[in-house]
């Protein structure tokens, strides 16, 4: 089977939800799982072996500055000491590709930092970049079975 250009999925056909509420101000979003590995020396081999012993999740989202949502989250933490955790769901649905809808859900999302104030006379549209970590993730069963 050959690749058809229409099957390439457009990243513009996506949406992001924070605890079930759509984040209309999202500009870009990326989440990555990185495997934690330890080196395993093996007798008789010059190359080092590697054993996976866990994983960690992190990511970044870039937002158009249209609300004070991230500022409020950080102020609430600073004032109360309660560190909030969220669920993020990325929905990718390019109707032209024919691939179907992909929903990746991230659990126990915790924001690392957020810009609480910023001015820029040379920028027409302010943005904020928000790094985060997450502790679990899921993909609907029907999409996971696509890989088997």
Taking residues 60-83, report their average pLDDT.
Answer: 96
Tell me how far apart the alpha carbons of residues 3 and 116 are, in angstroms, rounded to a whole number.
45
pLDDT at 100 over 90: no
- The CATH code of the domain that includes 100 is 2.30.110.40
How much is the mean pLDDT over the chain? 91
What is the C-alpha separation between 20 and 89, in angstroms, rounded?
8
Range of the domain at 84: 5-40+48-147
User: What is the number of domains present in the chain?
Assistant: 1
Least confident of 57-71, 96-110, 133-147: 133-147
pLDDT above 60 (res 146): no
Contact partners, residue 12, CB within 8 Å, separation at least 6: none
Q: Is the pLDDT of residue 145 over 70?
A: no
């Amino acid at each position: 089977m050959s690749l058809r250009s229409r099957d390439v999925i457009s990243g513009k056909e996506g949406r992001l939800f924070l605890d079930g509420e759509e984040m209309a101000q999202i500009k870009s979003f990326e989440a990555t799982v990185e495997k934690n590995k330890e080196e395993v020396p093996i007798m008789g081999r010059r190359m080092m072996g590697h054993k996976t012993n866990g994983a960690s999740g992190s990511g970044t989202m870039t937002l158009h500055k249209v609300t004070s949502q991230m500022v409020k989250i950080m102020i609430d933490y600073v004032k109360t000491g309660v560190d909030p955790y969220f669920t993020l769901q990325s929905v990718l649905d390019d109707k032209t590709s024919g691939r179907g809808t992909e929903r990746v859900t991230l659990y126990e999302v915790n924001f690392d930092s957020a810009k609480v104030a910023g001015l820029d006379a040379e920028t027409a549209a302010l943005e904020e970049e928000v790094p985060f970590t997450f502790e679990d993730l899921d993909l609907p069963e029907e999409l996971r079975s696509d890989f088997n």
